[in-house]
Amino acid sequence: MWDGIIIGGGLAGLLAGIRASERGKRILIISEGVGSLTYSSGALDFGDVEQLQNREKHPYALLGEAPVRAGMDYLQMLFPNYQGTWGVTQDLLTPLGSPRKASLVPSGQNAEALQDAQQIVLMAPEGMKDFFPELIKTNLEKAYPQCIVYIHPFRVSAFESWYALGKSVTGMEYARYWQSKPGLEALKRVLYCMTQIFFPNQESIKNKKSVIIFPGLAATFSDPLKEVLSKAGLPVIEMTSFPPSASGHNLYCALKQKFKSLGGELLAGTGVQRIESQGKLCGKAIVRSKGRFTAFSARSFILATGGIFGGGIEVTAEAAQETVLGLPLYVPAEWTKSEFLGEQPYARMGIEVDSELRPINSRDKEVIFENLRVVGRMLAHWDPWSENCGGGVSLATGWFAGEKL
Amino acid sequence: MSFVQEKAENLDACIKCSACTAMCPVAAVNPLFPGPKILGPDAERFRLEGLQLGTTLLNYCSKCKTCEITCPSGVKVTEMITRAQEDAQMSGAGKTLQLRVRDHLLGRAEYLGKLATIWPNLTNALLRVPLFRKFLEQILGISSEAPLPAYKQKFKGSGPGRQSKKQVVFFPGCFVTYNDALTGQAIIKVLEHNGFEVIVPPFHCCGTPLEGNGLVREAKEIVQKNLALMSPYTQAGVPVITGCTSCGLALREYPSPAMSGAEHHELQTYDLFEFLWELHERNELREDFKEIQISLGYHASCHLKAQGIGTPSVRLLRLIPGVQVVDLDQGCCGLSGSYGFKKEKYVTAMQIGNPLFNRVRRGAANGEFQTVTTECGGCQVQISHGSGLKTEHPVWVLMQAYGLN
C-alpha cells in the first residue's frame, strides 16, 4: 500500500512527488515515457498571474495566489540555480536568437547582459543540428541594434567522425560532451581560442561591453562547467534549443533524481490501464506490465497524465476522452480557429476541478473522487500558449497536490 | 486489428521528436550508429515498401529497450528493429562468415555452458590465458578484454528440498545454471524459507541470447520447448519464478499457450522480487529480518525496466532494518547480454557503461555505499569489470537478513 500514486512523470507529477516524499509519504510515480520536459527549453513561464487569477475557472483562480507563489519558491529552493522574482520576467534567447521573456530561468540562460552589450560573439559549433548562425545574427542585430555581432565557428575533435560522416550533432550531444572530463578541457581550449581572436588583451575586454552566446550548452546542473565558464572573463549566455533540449532534459533528470533520493519509486515506460475504485474512492492503479497487469494500491492518487500532447487526452474526429479514468472533460463547442498561430479553443480542454483540485461534474459540481487530484496540463480552462503560464500552472498545482496528499 | 494495420498505426504514433535517439546509449558513443529513430520508425517506412537495410547497422542496436521505455508515444522501436533484423537476415544481407559463426556461438549460451561446465576449472584456466583470448579474438571475434564470466559447477536444482502444497517453479536461466549456481540455490532457500516447494524442470535457455544474436528462428524453437516444460505447472496455476531480469522479460514475452475453452489464462511468470513483494502485500512474506547495517548502490537493469514492474527489490530490501539503498539511475551498463563481448563492440559497450562506472566509483569512494547490487548477471559482470566494485544479486541481502547463509 502506497501513500500516494502519481500517474504521469512530467513537471507537475514529479514536483508533486517530490513535495509529498519530502513530507514523509511513500510515493510511486507511474510514467508512460520521459514526460515532455525534454521538449521544453528548461525555462518556466508563469504568465500574468494577477490577470489570470481573475479569469473564471482558471487554475490560478481556483488556487489563489499563495500556491502559485509557493510553486515558484519551491522550485528555486530545490534548484537554487533557477532564478526568478515574483512578478518580474527575464530575457532569454529563443533558438532563433530573438529575445523572449520567462519567469523562472536557469541562470545560464539569462540574457539581461545583452541589454547594454556593444559586442556579441556567437559561438558556432560545427555541424550542430537545428542551429542557424546567420539567422540568429540577423535576429540579434534586430533586437540589439547597438551591438556588433560576430560569428565564431569552431570544431571539436571529439566529433570529427560525426563531421566526416556529414552527420549533424544535436545540441544535447554537445551539451553532454561539455559536461564530461575531456569536454571540460576542450571547452577551456575553445574559449581560450575565441578570446585570442576577439579579445587579444585585457584592454579589449574592458573597452567594450562584450557577451558570448553559446548554443548547445547547459551548465545549470554542472558545477565544474559553471566554473570553467566563470573563468571566461566575459558573460556567457546559453541559448534555448529546439527539441530535444539539453536544458529541459537536465531539469527532468534533476527532478527525477531528487524524487528518487527522497525514497520515491519511478516506474517508467508503461502506463496505467485503469483505476479500480469503490464509490468515491480510487483504490488500485492497474498497470500495463509486460505480459500481465500489475495492481498497485494507494490511499491517494494524483492524475498528471498531461493533455493531448502528453497522451492524457485522446482525441478522435468525434470526441475527446480522458484515457485513464474516463473522467468527464470540458470540451469547447468550437475546437479550432482559422488563424494558425492565434488562440485555439481546444487548448482549454481538460478536467474541471474544485478548489482542492478534485474532479467535479460540470452539472452539479459534485466531487467525483474524494482521493484524486488532477494537476498540470490535464486541467481545464487554461492555455499555455496564449497565456504563457505552462510552467506556472504545473508547478503551482503540482506543489499544491504534493502538499495536500 | 490486422498485423499490417497495427504496424502502420504504431509507426504513425512516432512524432519524430528524437527523444529515443537522445536517450540511446549506443548513439551517444558511436557516431556510426544512426540511432533508434532512424533505424526504427524512419526506416520502417521504407521497409513497408519492401526496401531492406543491411544488418550491419541494425546489429549495433544492443536491444537494451531504452528507446521503448523513453518514447512518450508508446512506439515499439526495439520491436521494429528486431523484426527488421530478422527480415534482413532472411534476405541474406549482412554478416561475414566469422561474425556469423561467432553469433551462432554466443547465441547458444546453453550449449557453451554445457561444454564449459564439463570441466569448469579447465575452461576458466583457458579463458585466463591471454594467448587463448587473442586466439578467440582473431578467430571468433570475441574481444580479448571482455569480462567473460567464469564457469562454475553446474546448477543442479534443489535436490530433495522442502515438500509443500504451496509450489513454485524456478526458471534458473543460463547465468545461474553455468556461472552462478550459488545464487540459484540462494533463491531456492529464500522461497523454501517462505514455505514453498521449489520445482526446477530441465529448462533450456530462455531464448534472449539467440534473439540478441539475430537467430530469431532458433529462439522461437527453444521457446516452444520451454513452454512445453512449463505448461503442466502453469495450467495447474503454479507460478514460474526467475531471478534473472532478461529471462524474466523473455518469459513475459512468450506467446501465451492456446488454452482450450474461453477461460482467461493469465501469464504466470514472475520476477523473484515482484513475487516476494506480492507476498508482502498479502501479508504472506516472512519478515523476521535480522538487522543488517549495509548500504547498497542499486542498478536497475534495462530488461527489468522493460518489464514495467518498477523496482520491487529496492522496495523489499528497504523493509530490512538497517539496509540503505541508493538507486544509481545511470542507465545501461553497456554489456547487453553478449553485445559487449564482441570485439567490434567492446569499446562501445565500455563507453556506454562509463557514467555508471563513474557513479559507482564515486559512491564507493565517498562512503555512500559499500557494494553494488543488481539482479542481472550480465550487469554484475560488467559493473565489476568497469568499476572494480563487488556486485551481487540482491537475494544475498535477503539471505543474510533471514540468517540463511
pLDDT tens string, chain A, 405 residues long: the values are 899 999 999 999 999 999 999 999 999 999 987 778 888 899 999 999 999 999 999 999 999 999 999 999 999 999 999 999 999 999 999 999 999 999 999 999 999 999 999 999 999 999 999 999 999 999 999 999 999 999 999 999 999 988 998 888 989 889 999 998 999 999 999 999 999 999 887 776 666 789 999 999 999 999 999 999 999 889 999 999 988 889 999 999 999 999 999 999 999 888 899 999 999 999 999 999 988 899 999 999 999 999 998 889 999 888 899 999 999 999 999 999 999 888 999 999 999 999 999 999 989 999 999 999 999 999 999 999 999 999 999 999 999 999 999
Chain B nearest C-alpha distance from A366 (Å): 33
Integer angstrom CA distances of residue B143 from B132, B133, B344, B345: 11, 8, 8, 8
Kindly list the residues from chain A whose CB atom is less than 8 angstroms away from the CB atom of residue B70: 33-34, 269
Residue A133: asked if its preceding bond is cis (omega within 30°), the reply is no
Quote the minimal CA–CA distance from B320 to chain A in Å. Answer: 15
Partner-chain contact A172 B22, CB within 8 Å: yes
C-beta of residue B370 within 8 angstroms of C-beta of residue B296: yes
Integer Cα distance of A364 and B175 in angstroms: 61
Sign (positive/negative) of CA torsion A166, A168, A173, A179?
positive
CB nearest B305 (choices: A243, A268, A310): A268
Residue B379, all three cell numbers: 550487469
B260 pLDDT above the threshold of 60: no
Which DSSP symbol is given to A216? S
CB nearest to A161's CB, from B31, B311, B318: B31
pTM score over 0.90:
yes
Please, are residues A297 and A283 in contact by the beta-carbon 8 Å criterion? yes
> In angstroms, rounded to a whole number, what is the distance separating the alpha carbons of residues B144 and B130?
7
3-class DSSP state of A300: strand
Chain segment B46-99, per-residue pLDDT in tens: 888 888 777 778 888 888 888 888 887 778 899 889 888 877 766 555 567 777
What pLDDT is recorded for position B130?
Answer: 87
**Beta-bridge mates of residue A154:** A125
Cα distance between residue B144 and residue A356, in whole Å: 62
- A34 and B72 in contact by Cβ < 8 A? yes
Summarised one tens digit per residue, pLDDT across range B297-310 is 999 999 999 999 99
Is A38's Cβ below 8 Å from some Cβ in B? Answer: yes
Distance, CA of A272 to CA of A287 (rounded, Å): 4
ipTM surpasses cut 0.90: no
Q: Do A39 and B17 touch (CB under 8 A)?
A: yes
Q: B-chain residues within 8 Å CB-CB of A311?
A: 72-74
The closest of A307, A403, A303, A401 to A348, measured between CA atoms, is A307
Task: Provide the pLDDT for residue B224.
Answer: 93
Give the pLDDT confidence score for residue B257 in this predicted structure. 59
Query: Is there a contact between B269 and A291 if contact means CB atoms under 8 Å apart?
Result: yes
Q: Which residue of B has its CA nearest to A298?
A: B281
- Distance, in angstroms, between A69 CA and closest chain B CA? 30
Name the residue among B72, B256, B306 with its Cβ closest to that of A32.
Answer: B72
Q: How close B175 comes to chain A (CA, Å)?
A: 22
Residue of B266, B308, B315 with shortest CB distance to A288: B308
What pLDDT, on a 0 to 100 scale, did the predictor assign at position B158? 66
Inter-chain CB proximity B252 and A290 less than 8 Å = yes
Nearest-Cα residue of chain B relative to residue A36: B72
Chain A contact probe: residue of B30, B65, B69 with most A CBs at under 10 A: B69
Contacts of A310 in chain B (CB under 8 A): 72
The DSSP bridge partners found for residue A6 are: A29, A302
Closest alpha carbon to A349 in A324, A378, A319: A378
The answer to whether A298 touches A373, Cβ cutoff 8 Å, is no
Closest to A111 measured CA to CA, from A94, A128, A133, A130:
A94
- Which residues on chain A are in Cβ contact (under 8 Å) with B306? 269, 290
Helices and strands, number each (H, E), in chain B: 23, 8
Among the partner residues A1, A265, A290, nearest to B311 by beta-carbon distance: A265
Of B31, B32, B308, the CB nearest to A267: B308
Tell me the pLDDT band of B193, cut-offs 50, 70 and 90. Answer: very high
What is the pLDDT, as a whole number, of residue A36?
81
Does residue B212 register a pLDDT over 50? yes
- Sign, Cα dihedral of B130, B132, B138, B141: negative
Strand partners, A292: A289
Name the closest residue on chain A to residue B65, using Cα atoms: A269
Mark which residues 256-275 of A lie under 8 Å from B by CB.
256-257, 260-261, 263, 265-271
Is A365's Cβ below 8 Å from some Cβ in B? no
Averaged confidence pLDDT in chain B: 87
Rounded distance between C-alpha atoms, residue A380 and residue B59, angstroms: 46
Alpha helices in A243-380 (DSSP H): 246-261
Q: Does A283 touch chain B (CB under 8 A)?
A: no
Min distance B48 CA to chain A CA atoms (Å): 25
Query: Which of chain B's residues have a Cβ under 8 Å away from the Cβ of A283?
Result: none
pLDDT of B342 reads 87
Residue B91: the pLDDT is 59
A171 lies within 8 A of chain B by CB: no
What's the pLDDT at B6? 64
Tell me which residue of A288, A279, A290, A286 sits closest to A368, measured CA to CA. A279
Give Cβ neighbours of residue B337 (< 8 Å, ≥ 6 apart): B63, B208, B209, B212, B246, B378
Of B107-111, B282-286, B400-404, where does mean pLDDT reach its minimum? B107-111
Q: Who among A1, A35, A162 is closest to B31 (CB)?
A: A162
Strand order across the beta sheet in which B167-170 lies: B197-199, B167-170, B240-242, B269-271
Interval A281-318: pLDDT, tens:
999 999 999 888 999 999 999 999 999 988 899 998 88
How high is the pLDDT of residue B93? Answer: 53
Residues of A in contact with B307 (CB under 8 A): 289-290
Which ranges in B141-180 belong to alpha helices (H)?
Answer: 173-174
Q: Does A26 touch chain B (CB under 8 A)?
A: no
Q: How many residues does chain A have?
A: 405
Compare CB distances from B306 to A33, A260, A269 and report the shortest one's residue: A269
Tell me which chain A residues have a C-beta less than 8 angstroms from the C-beta of B330.
none
Pairing of strands A148-154, A119-125: parallel
Of A28, A165, A261, the CB nearest to B31: A165
Whether B143 has a pLDDT exceeding 70, the answer reads yes
